[in-house]
Amino acid sequence: MTAAEQSSPEKRSRRSGGRAARQALRAAPLAQDLRPVRAGLTGGQYRPLTEEGVQRIHAAALDALETIGLADAPRSGVEAMTAAGAVEGDDGRLRFSRALVEDMLALAARNITLHGRDPAHDLELSGSRVHFGTAGAAVHVVDVERREYRDSTVQDLYDAARLTQALDNVHFFQRAMVCRDIADNFELDINTLYACCAGTAKHVGTSFSDPTHVAGGFDFLHLLAGGEAAWRARPFVSNSNCFVVPPMKFATESCIAMEACIRGGMPVLLLSAGQAGATAPAPLATAIVQAVAECLAGVVYVNAVAPGHPAIFGTWPFVSDLRTGAMSGGSGEQALLTAGCAQMHHFYGLPGGAAAGMADAKLPDMQAGWEQAISNVMAGLSGLNMVYEAVGMHASLLGFCLESLVLGDDMLGQVLRCVRGIEVSEDAVSLEAMREVCLSGPGHYLGHAQTLGLMQTEYVYPAVADRSSPKGWAEAGRPDLIEQATARKNRLLAESQAPFIDPATDAVLRAAFKIHL
C-alpha cells in the first residue's frame, strides 16, 4: 500500500470507524451473564495449605475443643449446647467431643443464599463462589483533599452504601463505619440499619451493640420488608457477630444477641477475630487452628439452637506486627491467613467468610494499592465465599475512604478477572482467525471480528485507572488518580437512585424511630 493510499480519506474514515465501533462496544451495557466479571465467579485455584496440613489443622482444632474448650457462654447457650452433647466442666468451660462436632457439621446449612432487597443482588454461597464487599467499624473517614482523618457520620455511611449500589464489583454492603454523630446506642443501631438499607438494595450486614436492641431492629426490618412473613421469606440483612473473644472464650452479650437473631430468622456471620501474636498464637498455622476451633464451637452453638440455620464460617484471624504489637491488615501474612482459612471452609463444605483488602496505609497511595490488591487476589483465587473489608479500609481498620471505595471497584474488576481465569475452549483456541490474519489479512488482529466480539466479554476496563501513554496523559492535562476518583465519587452520588425506601414506608419508619439521616 502506498503512502497516498494510507492517507486517503477513505482509509482514514475506515480506521476512524473501527475506533468508533470499538468505543461503542465498550460503552454498550452487557447482560449480566455475558459480563467478563460478576458476583459468584468460582475460585479455588490457590491453596496455601497441603492436604496433610489441612488434616493436621482439623485434628488440632478438634483436640483444642475437646481438651481446652471455651469459657463464658451465657446460660442459655450452655443449656442449648449441653443438651446437644457438650460437657460443662468444673472450671465453667464447655468442651466438645469429636462426635458432637461431626454431628453438628452434618446439620449445618450449606449452599445458602444471602438475599438482597433486589433479587438481582442475591448471593449464592456455595462451593468456591467468590463475592467481595465492605465491612468493619471504622471510627474515622479519610478526607483525601485535606489529607486528614475526621469522625465518621451517618451521612458518610449512607454515602458509602449509595456508592456500593453503583459499583458493580462490590457485591454486598456490610456496615463499614460507626455513626459517631449519634450518641444513643439504640438510635445508633437503628440508624445504621436505615442508612445501609436506604443506600443500597444489595445484601446488608450489620451488628447490634447491645442484645436488648435486637427486638427493635426486627421491628424496623419487619416494617421495611412489609411484614414479618416477608422478612423471613427473604432476609436481606445478616448479623456480623463477634461471638467469641479470643482466645477460646465466648462473648457473652454477643452470644445472646446471636440467639435473638437466629430466632428472628437472620443469617449470622460467626466471626472469630484473634490477632496472631496477641490474642491468637503467633505461628500462622496455629492461628488458623484457634480460629477454626472457635468457629466449630459456633457451628455447634447455632445448630444446637436451630438446626440448619444459615451461618457463615467466619474464621477471621488478623496479624500483628510483632515489633510493635500493632495490627497489620495489609501484610503478606494476613493474605496467607485469609487464603488458608478459605481452604478450611472448603474442607468442611461450609459457606465461609474472612477479611482481605485492608490497608495499613493511611491514604489511597501506592502502599494501599499493593496491600489491598495482594490479599484480595489471594482471597479470590482461594475461593473465599465472602471477602469482607475488601475495599475502602485504611489505617488497619480505623479509617474508611470513599475515594478508596471507588478505586477499589476498579481493583476488584482486575481481581475478579484473575479469579475467572483463562477458558480453553474449542472456539478459544481455533486457528481460523490466525489463518485469516497471517495468510490473507493485514497481519494484525485490530478490527478483526474475533477481537471486536471479545472486547466486552473477555476483557475488563477500569473506570478510573489511567492506561494512556505519557504523551496522551500530558495532553489530557496530567489527570491525577485521586482527583479522578473524587470526580467519579461525586458523579455517582449525584446520579444515585437512593433512597431505596419508598416515601410511605419511610414515613412509617420515621414515626416509629428517631431517624437522624
Question: Residue 414 belongs to a domain with what CATH number?
Answer: 3.20.20.480
Largest separation between any pair of C-alpha atoms in the chain: 96
Tell which wins on pLDDT, 354 or 325.
Answer: 354
Q: Which three cell numbers stand for residue 85?
A: 452433647
The answer to the question of residue 431 being in a domain is no
* pLDDT score, position 4: 45
**Mutual angle of helices 154-166 and 481-495, in 10-degree steps:** 90
The answer to the question of residue 362 being in a domain is yes
The answer to the question of residue 231 being in a domain is yes
3-state SS, residue 514: coil
Q: How far apart are CA 218 and CA 239, in angstroms?
A: 12
* pLDDT score, position 11: 42
* pLDDT score, position 27: 60
Give the residue among 194, 168, 235, 203 at the shortest CA–CA distance from 31: 168
The mean pLDDT value of the chain amounts to: 94
- In this predicted structure, the answer to whether residue 335 has a pLDDT above a threshold of 70 is yes
Cell 452433647: give the residue: 85
Instruction: Give the number of other Cβ atoms within 10 Å of residue 60's Cβ.
Output: 17
Domain count for the chain: 1
The answer to the question of residue 350 being in a domain is yes
For 430-444, how does the pLDDT look when each residue is reduced to its tens digit (9 = 90+)?
899 999 999 998 999
Give the residue among 136, 126, 193, 203 at the shortest CA–CA distance from 164: 203
- Between β-strands 386-388 and 326-327, what pairing exists: parallel, antiparallel or unpaired? unpaired
Contact 9, 439 (CB under 8 A): no
The answer to the question of residue 266 being in a domain is yes
The answer to the question of residue 480 being in a domain is no
For 270-326, how does the pLDDT look when each residue is reduced to its tens digit (9 = 90+)?
999 999 999 999 999 999 999 999 999 999 999 999 999 999 999 999 998 999 988
* pLDDT score, position 7: 44
DSSP 332: H
The answer to the question of residue 5 being in a domain is no
Q: How far apart are CA 179 and CA 163, in angstroms?
A: 17
- Segments forming the whole domain that contains residue 339: 110-279+307-421+504-512
DSSP 212: G
Specify which residues 320 forms β-bridges with: 327
